[in-house]
Amino acid sequence: MNFNKEKKLLSERFYLTWAGEQMSWTVRMTMKMRDVVDGDLLRQAVESTRLRYPYYQVKLGIRKDAEGTEYFVYEDNSEPWVVSEGEKPVRLIGPESNNHLLAFCCWGDCIAIDFFHCLTDGTGAYNILRTLLYEYSRRRYDATLERGMANIRVSGDTISSEEWEDPAALAKPDQLNPLPLPERLRCINLTTQSKVAVSEDVETVNILVEEQEMMRYVTSGDTSPATLISLLLVRAIARLHPDLTEGVPMVALAINQRPALGCPQAGQSMAASLRLTLNDEMRGMDIETQQTIFRGMVALQSNEDNVIENFWQTQHTQDMFEKIPTLEGRHQAMAKAYSVATSAATTCVSYVGKANLGAAEQYVSEMYTEAYTPYALTIEMSAVGGTFCISLMQRFADDTYLEAFLDEFRQIGLPYRIATRHPLTVAPIANYRVYRGQ
């Protein structure tokens, strides 16, 4: 099969064009195991996992079309995926990672995957981790472990073309009827309007909430875990920014575009975001009413035709950037354009959904996600083993915003505990825009 290798990359262009030394767009997902990790068994499991995902066995290549315009392709990469010991990630897309766009680390009781967001998103990474955990647990704990109902992919499966075909290579559907959305309000920009000094360094604060406590609250109200956390975050920001002339707190809530696009198995990065705003009128409402309004915003913006239209608008924007013939020129233009675009949201929340790791989930106690984003405040959520793991990444000199956020938990009676705090740990990337001829 041709797993899109040597074909012009399309849906990947957003991250490929934007990312750079200062904005790596890399993600780390860490599974905290219930026992110390066996590095040798993990390497065996990683190799078995690699064989299941031929469309991720790639390195970046650059080509030129007949007019001399540069573009990216995936080239075959038969080198093994790197598994390093220690918490420090290797540099992706370079010799340290065997030129792969993902790599693995292990230390103590932790296993981590680092990946470049152009390769896939949280949904795709969860598939890899399900396979990896299954292969590792069979070797480490139980050779008779079954896949169960988690639909875990393993080497030897028949790989459907739906896993690697790019929806951006298809024609845009005709007769879309997206629902009209309210005018987007000017929002608070925490990189320029923060109440405390903004730091160059990013700290990750890992907050744990028991799943039964979270679900008890969300099922009793008109909300969901991601919508609730989004609301609590903007409520906290609103309390710190009472001056309405500053703008409104707005959260970019990540969504999975696959269902709307009709490509549930797609391995590419298919994430987009909704914009949830705590407008001036909502500030004085009780939280139950705010929850209902937020759910309404989610339902409106995640309407199928709206999601499809947004996907194709993104592709059209990348087509416009390709009028610039060089990859470096495109990067410079996009970096400038998106320095403006990042002011279109105050903060960001992402929740892929429950990990659903199958029978092997019993060997995992916690799971954390970290990502390098342009926002001063970002939340990545994971849920595994009966625990919600809320990773808050902040660029502030003190805990003013963190404490305001945690106070929202206390106000609604949702118990939490801070598990760990540490500097943001994500993989750097090599310079991948150098054309070497083809």
Q: How far apart are CA 391 and CA 233, in angstroms?
A: 13
Does one domain contain both 226 and 149?
no
Residue appearing with tokens 């905290």: 32
| Phi/psi at 150 (5° precision) | -80, 0
Question: CB–CB of 393/374 below 8 Å?
Answer: no
Does one domain contain both 327 and 372?
yes
263 falls within a domain: yes
Does one domain contain both 90 and 227?
no
Does one domain contain both 288 and 381?
yes
Does one domain contain both 272 and 410?
yes
Helix segments in 53-144, DSSP class H? 122-140
Report which DSSP code applies to 386: T
**Among 131, 155, 179, which residue terminates a domain?**
155
Question: CB–CB of 342/191 below 8 Å?
Answer: yes
Classify residue 323 as exposed, middle or buried by CB count within 10 Å of its CB (0-12, 13-18, 19+): exposed
Q: How far apart are CA 163 and CA 31, in angstroms?
A: 24
Q: Which of 231, 251, 256, 379 is nearest to 310 (CA)?
A: 256
299 falls within a domain: yes
Beta bridge partners of 203: 394, 423
- Number of domains present in the structure of the chain: 2
CATH for 18: 3.30.559.10
| Phi/psi at 167 (5° precision) | -60, -20
Does one domain contain both 65 and 150?
yes
324 falls within a domain: yes
Tell me the pairing of strands 271-277 and 387-396. Answer: unpaired
Does one domain contain both 196 and 117?
no
Q: How far apart are CA 302 and CA 255, in angstroms?
A: 8
Does one domain contain both 246 and 365?
yes
pLDDT of residue 396: 97
pLDDT of residue 241: 97
Does one domain contain both 330 and 232?
yes
Q: Which domain holds residue 282?
A: 190-423
8 falls within a domain: no
54 falls within a domain: yes
122 falls within a domain: yes
Does one domain contain both 275 and 375?
yes
Tell me the pairing of strands 70-76 and 58-64. Answer: antiparallel
Does one domain contain both 401 and 262?
yes
Quick: pLDDT tens for 218-265. 998 889 999 999 999 999 999 999 998 889 999 999 999 999 999 999
Quick: pLDDT tens for 346-361. 999 999 999 999 999 9
Find how far residue 373's CA is from the centre of its chain: 9
**Among 105, 131, 155, which residue terminates a domain?**
155
pLDDT of residue 150: 63
Q: How far apart are CA 62 and CA 434, in angstroms?
A: 8
Report which DSSP code applies to 184: P
CATH for 402: 3.30.559.30
Give the chain's residues under pLDDT 70.
Answer: 1-2, 4, 149-150, 338, 341, 435-438
Q: Which of 73, 163, 47 is nearest to 438 (CA)?
A: 73
Q: What are the CA-CA distances from residue 22 to residues 163, 200, 430, 431 (Å)?
A: 31, 11, 11, 11
334 falls within a domain: yes
**Among 155, 172, 200, which residue terminates a domain?**
155
Does one domain contain both 122 and 199?
no
7 falls within a domain: no
The encoded tokens of residue 297 equal: 């915003």
pLDDT of residue 1: 56
